[in-house]
């Protein structure tokens, strides 16, 4: 959980690359005299940072001759950072300034007391949207399996139904699920290190986390292929497991991420 400010200040008099660098916040300022050094510095920070819940705030005022945009940062998707362009002229989101400083245009001071508020404002919104994403991803399958379970006594009908369901399944379900898990930092390698996992208020207990994995996944080996899913659906006993898992996860995500606010 880290906030990286890029171009917190610009047009400063003295050459200055880093004005603050802690385990929570990296704030950089730009000086024209060192533009190449500065650019390389920023890119190296981003490439070396492995904190999956990082928030990157880019001061992208067009008047700044050397401003960064999201595209300039070359952050690969696997890093899963949240990148927000902002400036203080009212055209882009100025929440970062409002929360983090007194918003003195020429000499903004950083107030770390608001760290969690800033992080939550930008990153928390992604978390709150996860419930909707989860529902869109798994509700169709849950409905199909609930329907299938009602037709089991009619074998021909059930087989036809199952074939239609399987023909409609795509890798997309698995891709979306992996993104959701990643955003939730459910993966074991992200949750081992407290500094690299979600803030406490968003974090799930170990037991809750275990039960959030898709029924055919295990905590030790998360992930499955579309072929695995086809095979799994051939066993009728699994229908109820998936439907129950879906309903429980909706409740957990709602309680933890949505109702919290």
Partner 1 sequence: MNYFLITEDSSITLAHSLARYYWYTLGIELCLWNDGMSIESDKNDFFFILNEPKGLEKYLSWIHKNDFNPNRIRFIGYDSNADINLLEVEKLKKQIEHCFAVTRGVDRLGIPFIFNRIKTFFNGHGEQSLLSCISGVKYYLGNYSEMADSGEYSPDELNKPFFLPGMQCWDEFTLRFSKYASFLYVSGWDKQVHEIERSINVVTMDLKKAEVSDCFHTFSSETIQSLKEIITSIENMASQIDRKQYETNPADR
Give me the residues that bind partner 1 (CB under 8 A), please. 135-136, 139-144, 146-148, 150-151, 157, 161, 164-165, 168, 243, 246-247, 250
Indicate the residue among 32 and 251 with the shorter CB distance to partner 1: 251
Q: Give me the least distance between CB of 121 and partner 1, in Å please.
A: 23
Q: Which is nearer to partner 1, 127 or 145 (CB)?
A: 145
Which residue has 């996944």 as its token pair?
A: 217
- Is the CB of 137 or the CB of 197 nearer to partner 1? 137
Helix %, strand %, coil % of the chain (to 5) = 55, 10, 35
Whether 92 contacts 85, CB under 8 Å: yes
Which of residues 150 and 260 has its CB atom nearest to partner 1 in the complex?
A: 150
37 or 139: CB nearest partner 1:
139
110 contacts 27 by C-beta, under 8 angstroms: yes
Torsion of CA 242, 243, 244, 250, to 10 degrees: 100
Q: How far is the CB of 134 from partner 1 (least distance, A)?
A: 11
Which CA distances in Å does 165 have to 132, 148, 229, 240?
22, 9, 12, 16
Least Cβ distance, residue 146 to partner 1 (angstroms): 5
**Could you please report the per-residue DSSP string of 163-178?**
HHHHHH--HHHHHHHH
Q: How far is the CB of 87 from partner 1 (least distance, A)?
A: 28
Q: Considering only CA atoms, which of 136, 130, 135, 158 is closest in space to residue 235? A: 158
Question: Hey, which bits of 34-179 come out as E strands?
Answer: 55-59, 82-86
User: Which is it for the CA torsion 191, 192, 196, 202, positive or negative?
Assistant: positive
Q: Between 172 and 210, name the residue whose CB sits nearer to partner 1.
A: 172
CB of 178 to partner 1, least distance (A): 17
Q: Output the smallest distance, CB 175 to partner 1, in A.
A: 13
């Amino acid at each position: 959980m880290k906030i990286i400010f890029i171009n917190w200040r610009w047009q400063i008099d003295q050459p200055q690359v880093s004005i603050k660098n802690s385990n929570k916040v990296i704030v950089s300022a730009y000086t024209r005299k060192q533009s190449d050094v500065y650019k390389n510095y920023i890119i190296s920070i981003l490439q070396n940072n492995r904190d999956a819940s990082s928030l990157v705030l880019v001061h992208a005022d067009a008047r700044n001759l050397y401003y960064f945009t999201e595209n300039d940062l070359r952050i690969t998707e696997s890093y899963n950072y949240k990148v927000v362009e902002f400036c203080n002229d009212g055209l882009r989101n100025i929440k970062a300034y409002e929360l983090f400083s007194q918003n003195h245009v020429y000499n903004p001071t950083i107030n770390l007391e608001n760290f969690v508020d800033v992080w939550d404002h930008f990153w928390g919104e992604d978390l709150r949207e996860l419930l909707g994403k989860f529902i869109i991803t798994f509700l169709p399958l849950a409905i199909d399996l609930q329907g299938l379970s009602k037709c089991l006594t009619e074998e021909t009908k059930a087989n036809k139904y199952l074939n239609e369901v399987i023909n409609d399944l795509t890798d997309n379900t698995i891709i979306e699920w992996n993104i959701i898990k990643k955003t939730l930092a459910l993966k074991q390698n992200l949750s081992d290190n407290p500094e690299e996992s979600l803030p406490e208020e968003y974090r799930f207990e170990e037991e809750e986390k275990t039960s959030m994995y898709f029924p055919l996944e295990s905590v030790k080996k998360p992930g499955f292929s579309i072929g695995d899913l086809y095979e799994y659906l051939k066993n009728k006993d699994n229908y109820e497991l998936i439907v129950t898992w879906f309903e429980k996860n909706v409740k957990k995500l709602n309680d933890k991420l949505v109702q919290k606010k």
